[in-house]
């Protein structure tokens, strides 16, 4: 494969007419960790004259579309942004519905994760989340603990800045208690205290819906991530678009600060 040095990863990279087949890419051109922001549910519904809640329901199928797309390429890690620390600012009715949909989705479709060999884990702050949701999240983690095809991390009540602040608080306490030498704290040490510290760096960051921002998602892990901001709203974002985003990633020359 010839690798272009500057391939844009902007709004025009995805083609709705692409075939539904996984691209044949060299192993070293496939991202190890993909992060996805599931954005655009509300706008999708409004465009169709329907309540925002319909968009959240329609967006649920995109989860397995994306899971099936990345497992077809043997991507080992997928992390999805389901509910942010800032989403509490929405109308209470919408917040309750989003959290209820997440709970019901995991409860009703847990067997599909097991069948696919997908290990489910979640990251975020427990405070404020319904007891029923916490229970089903724990059950999903336990039921899929032995799965080894894909690690699927769902971030709920999660914020990148909050995660970093939480880690700094723990590190400061350990240093104050004499359990950690402040002079020995490095980037590697700090990462170990992050809630998502067990995840590798994000290689490919996909945000459907056309918005071009991180929105406080995986700030630490996305330091050198390649970004794709396709215009398709999340309920319309199927496996074809995931594969095209990965193909765009494969054409990038990743330099990590080094010259060509």
How far is residue 88's CA from residue 13's CA, in Å, rounded to a whole number? 32
- Counting DSSP H helices and E strands in the chain, the numbers are 8, 6
Distances 224 to 36, 101, 116, 221, 253 between C-alpha atoms, Å: 15, 32, 30, 8, 12
Catalytic residue among 41, 87, 157, 203: 87
Q: 39 catalytic, yes or no?
A: yes
Structure tokens of 30? Answer: 């496939």
Q: Which of 39, 41, 157, 203 is the catalytic position?
A: 39
What's the length of the chain? 260
Structure tokens at 183: 């002079």
CA atoms of 165 and 159, how far apart (whole Å): 10
Q: Provide the annotated active-site residues.
A: 39, 87
């Amino acid at each position: 494969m010839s690798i272009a040095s500057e391939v844009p990863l902007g709004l025009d990279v995805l083609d709705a007419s692409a075939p539904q087949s996984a691209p044949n890419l060299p192993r070293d051109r496939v991202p190890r960790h993909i992060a996805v922001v599931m954005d655009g549910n509300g706008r999708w519904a409004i465009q169709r004259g329907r309540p925002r809640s319909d968009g959240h329901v329609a967006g649920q199928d995109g989860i397995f579309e994306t899971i099936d797309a990345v497992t077809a390429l043997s991507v080992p890690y997928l992390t999805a942004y389901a509910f942010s620390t800032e989403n509490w600012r929405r109308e209470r009715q919408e917040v309750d519905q989003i959290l209820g949909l997440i709970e019901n989705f995991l409860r009703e479709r847990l067997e599909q994760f097991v069948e696919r060999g997908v290990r489910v884990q979640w990251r975020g702050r427990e405070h404020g989340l319904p007891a029923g949701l916490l229970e089903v999240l724990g059950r999903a983690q336990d039921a899929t603990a032995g799965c080894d095809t894909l690690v699927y991390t769902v971030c709920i009540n999660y914020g990148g800045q909050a995660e970093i602040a939480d880690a700094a608080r723990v590190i400061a306490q350990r240093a104050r208690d004499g359990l950690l030498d402040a002079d020995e704290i490095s980037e590697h040490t700090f990462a170990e205290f992050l809630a998502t510290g067990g995840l590798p760096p994000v290689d490919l960051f996909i945000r459907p819906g056309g918005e071009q921002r991180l929105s406080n998602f995986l700030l630490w892990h996305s330091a050198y991530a390649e970004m794709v901001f396709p215009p398709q709203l999340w309920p319309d974002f199927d496996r074809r678009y995931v594969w095209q985003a990965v193909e765009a990633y494969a054409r990038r020359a990743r330099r990590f600060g080094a010259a060509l």
